[in-house]
Amino acid sequence: MDFRDAMLDNYKEILKTYISDQTEQALYLSEKFSRKLLECKVSPEEMISLHKTSVMELEPDLPESLLLSLDILLEVMMAYGLAYREHQSLRTIQRELINEIEVAASMQQTLLGTKIPSLSFLDIGAISVPAKQMSGDYYHFVSHENGAISVAIADIIGKGIPAALCMSMIKYSMDSMPDDSQAPGDVLERLNRVVEQNVDPTMFITMFSGLYYPENHTFHYSSAGHEPGFFYNGEKGTFEELKAKGLLLGVDKKAKYNEYERKVEVGDAILLMSDGVTECRTEDGFLEVDTLIGYIEKYIELGAQDIADKVYKELEYLQDFQLRDDFTLIILKRMA
Amino acid sequence: MMDSSVKIINEWDIVAARQLGRNVAKELGFGTVDQARITTAISELARNIYLYAGQGEITIEKIENEAKKGIIIISRDAGPGISDLRKVMEDGFSTSGGLGAGLPGVKRLMDEFSIESDPRKGTLIQSVKWLR
Amino acid sequence: MNISIDIREQELQTIITLAGEIDAYTAPKLRETAFPYTEKQHANVVMDLSGVSYMDSTGLGVFVGLFKSLNANEGTLKLVGLSDRLKRLFDITGLADIMNINTVAEGGVE
């Protein structure tokens, strides 16, 4: 009971000072005392009991009624004491959760890491920024043995940890896909079956899958409900939506995905994005497609990675640096 | 000799259970803060019976082992039982409203706590506070 | 960031009128409120979205969930009063091809 005695002496001293000459100094000391109480996890009911003991020792002639009133105060403070103790334990749990999420987020970064292929004929840039710690966006490149390059971009509907877990599943299904089934439509059909079977019915994935053939410079692509990308015609300086029809992954296991094809000339570019790009919200409403194209156009002469970085900077500024959705932008630019 | 059990049927029986608990705690020599904790725990258990089981019983006894003396609160009901014990023992879960309330609160106020629940037989909670 | 959900149960259909924003914050509320109506056998649910000013992909997920639940219980889902922006969202995702979607508000159908 040493601790209680020390606290009691300390508190009595403060009370005595204040009762004799009501100084701010005494009030300040009591503020410091209250911090100490919290530090030592002293509950409100203990404090009231401490107060009662102190006043009884300092002022033995206090009326009985005043002392009795402190019993009521003590009883009333019980609920506060309970709430305080619960708060303490919830804080510990919260700290543990935050730590776990941080570990998970860095694991996700490692797991989902993809290498951007470095090629003489195709300049590739990519940027992906999560709105929260864990991203629901995903992109992936594969260089196939025959020289073709696969690119995939996916957006898990839903954010945070559930989306991240779902994405790991996608990533492993993609990794385990045989090298001979590269056709974008096949990739989506296969993933659709995986998602349909394994994912919670309220969770869905949009995905764009593309394949670049270097021998004839054609880009084949299919979309599963994904935000359409853009095709930049370098000669004419025009942008055009990469239209593709296809249902979200995970809704209907029999869904089929059409494959589309595009010839890519030197100077042309392909821009792929997640809906965080086109659903950007600004003060005056939504980002219009024209505004977005304006930004891309402004930087189109730069290297692919620079374009991605610069466009992101502009959009970030436009949204006051508050990302509401995960953001991913991929740029493929034919160089030779 | 005082009757050591209180039947809980309506809200006023909670007061009777508290009174019984306070008397026993006082006799044992618990200080005012511990008395308040013991009676708050009794309130919580009795209120659970009243709200969720309809009726039941709170028993309060002195206990003693080689080294120490204490008080035990036993709450017994034949209500619907608790299907997910882990959940009701979780902080922040309480359905009866309010921060810190519920069984985790009782556990914190007392020194020992045990619970058994069976959907067919009801719930038995025993909780001890030792005199220091 | 808020949503209002108004539900009118009629003899043959349940009309759910939504207003406000459907995003990650409001989607759970929408899901919880609307889901029970999709779990009855042969339920016909009409959702009027003419008051919806914003919807993100989380909101879309809710509608797919409701659609699947209704399909499983042999019910129907009809979405009416979609703005151009919302219509585009259903078009892009391919949902417009499998769902009953109408840009005209509720009074305009049936």
Q: What's A225's DSSP letter?
A: B
**Is residue B31 less than 8 Å (CB to CB) from chain A?**
yes
Instruction: Answer whether B61's CB lies under 8 Å from B4's CB.
Output: yes
CA distance C47 to C49: 6
Please name every residue paired with B6 in a beta bridge, in sequence order, or none if there are none. Answer: B58
Q: Where are the alpha helices (DSSP H) in A40-159?
A: 44-58, 64-112
Is residue B65 left, alpha or beta, with left meaning phi > 0 and alpha meaning psi from -120 to 50?
Answer: beta
Interface test with A, best of C54, C91, C92, C98 (most A CBs within 10 A): C92
- On whether the pTM is more than 0.80, the answer is no
Q: What's A254's DSSP letter?
A: T
Q: Where are the domains of chain C?
A: 3-108
> Mean pLDDT in chain C?
86
Please name every residue paired with C76 in a beta bridge, in sequence order, or none if there are none. Answer: C44
Q: Where are the alpha helices (DSSP H) in chain B?
A: 11-28, 32-48, 85-88, 103-109
Q: Where are the domains of chain B?
A: 5-130
Residues 84-123 of chain A with CB under 8 A from chain B are 84-87, 89-90, 93
% of chain C residues with pLDDT over 70: 94
Q: What is the mean pLDDT of residues A6-34?
A: 93
Contact A45 B100 (CB under 8 A): no
Q: Give the residue range(s) of CATH 1.10.1240.30 domains in chain A.
A: 2-93
The arrangement of secondary structure in C3-108, i.e. its CATH architecture, is 2-Layer Sandwich (3.30)
Reported as a single tens digit per residue, the pLDDT across B49-80 is: 998 888 999 999 999 988 899 999 999 999 88
Alpha-carbon distance values, A98 to A94, A112, A133, A334, C43 (Å) = 6, 21, 10, 43, 43
Q: At residue C25, what is the residue type? A: Y
% of chain A residues with pLDDT over 70: 91
> Mean pLDDT in chain A?
86
Domain A113-334, what fold?
Phosphatase 2c; domain 1 (3.60.40)
Chains that touch A (3 or more CB pairs under 8 A): B, C
Q: Token pair of A285, please?
A: 């409403």
Instruction: Answer whether A207's CB lies under 8 Å from A189's CB.
Output: no
Among residues A228, A211, A207, the alpha carbon closest in space to that of A220 is found at: A211
Q: Token pair of C84, please?
A: 């151009």
pLDDT of residue C109: 45
Contact A78 B37 (CB under 8 A): yes
More confident site: C95 or A282? C95
Alpha-carbon distance values, B16 to A105, B59, B96, B99, C32 (Å) = 54, 11, 21, 25, 42
Instruction: Answer whether B33's CB lies under 8 Å from A49's CB.
Output: yes
Chain C residues closer than 8 Å to A275 by CB: 56-57
Chain A residues closer than 8 Å to C71 by CB: none
**Is residue B98 less than 8 Å (CB to CB) from chain A?**
yes
**Is residue A134 less than 8 Å (CB to CB) from chain C?**
no
**Is residue A155 less than 8 Å (CB to CB) from chain C?**
yes
Chain C residues closer than 8 Å to A202 by CB: 31, 61-62, 64-65
**Is residue A56 less than 8 Å (CB to CB) from chain B?**
no
**Is residue A45 less than 8 Å (CB to CB) from chain B?**
yes
Contact A86 B32 (CB under 8 A): no
pLDDT of residue A259: 94
- Physical contact, B and A (3 or more Cβ pairs within 8 A): yes
pLDDT of residue C108: 47
pLDDT of residue A278: 58
Phi, psi at residue A61, to the nearest 5°?
Answer: -100, 15
pLDDT of residue B93: 65
Reported as a single tens digit per residue, the pLDDT across B4-21 is: 999 999 999 999 999 999
Q: Give the residue range(s) of CATH 3.60.40.10 domains in chain A.
A: 113-334
- The residue count for chain A: 336
Spatial neighbors of C10 by CB under 8 A, at least 6 apart, are none
**Is residue B21 less than 8 Å (CB to CB) from chain A?**
no
Instruction: Answer whether C109's CB lies under 8 Å from C102's CB.
Output: yes
Comparing alpha-carbon positions, the chain B residue that sits nearest to A92 is B91
Contact A74 B36 (CB under 8 A): yes
C-alpha angle A258/A262/A267, rounded to 5°? 150
Q: What is the mean pLDDT of residues C38-53?
A: 90
Contact C57 A155 (CB under 8 A): yes
Chain C residues closer than 8 Å to A201 by CB: 65, 68-69
CA distance A5 to A64: 24
CA distance C83 to C103: 7
Give how far the C-alpha of residue A25 lies from the chain's centroid of Cα atoms, to the nearest Å: 47
Contact A248 C69 (CB under 8 A): no
Spatial neighbors of A59 by CB under 8 A, at least 6 apart, are A19
Contact B100 A46 (CB under 8 A): no
Residue A149 has pLDDT above 60, yes or no: yes
β-pair type (A149-156, A205-213): antiparallel
Q: What is the mean pLDDT of residues C4-18?
A: 90
pLDDT of residue A175: 81
- Physical contact, C and A (3 or more Cβ pairs within 8 A): yes
Spatial neighbors of C24 by CB under 8 A, at least 6 apart, are A158, A159, C56, C58
CA end-to-end span of chain A: 83
CA distance A329 to A312: 8
Contact C61 A275 (CB under 8 A): no
Comparing alpha-carbon positions, the chain B residue that sits nearest to A70 is B32
A132-146, B86-100, C54-68: which range is least confident on average?
A: B86-100
Which of the listed CATH numbers 3.30.565.10, 3.20.20.70, 3.30.420.10, 3.50.50.60 matches domain B5-130?
3.30.565.10
**Is residue A256 less than 8 Å (CB to CB) from chain C?**
no
Residue B2 has pLDDT above 60, yes or no: no
Instruction: Answer whether A135's CB lies under 8 Å from A326's CB.
Output: yes
Q: What is the mean pLDDT of residues A293-312?
A: 89
**Is residue B100 less than 8 Å (CB to CB) from chain A?**
yes
Q: Token pair of A268, please?
A: 């042309």
Instruction: Answer whether A159's CB lies under 8 Å from A108's CB.
Output: no
pLDDT of residue B98: 56
Comparing alpha-carbon positions, the chain A residue that sits nearest to C61 is A202
Among residues B82, B72, B74, B73, the alpha carbon closest in space to that of B121 is found at: B82
Contact A83 B33 (CB under 8 A): no
Return the CA Rg of chain B.
14
CA distance A154 to A224: 9
Superfamily of segment(s) A2-93 = KaiA/RbsU domain (1.10.1240.30)
pLDDT of residue A1: 56
pLDDT of residue B43: 94
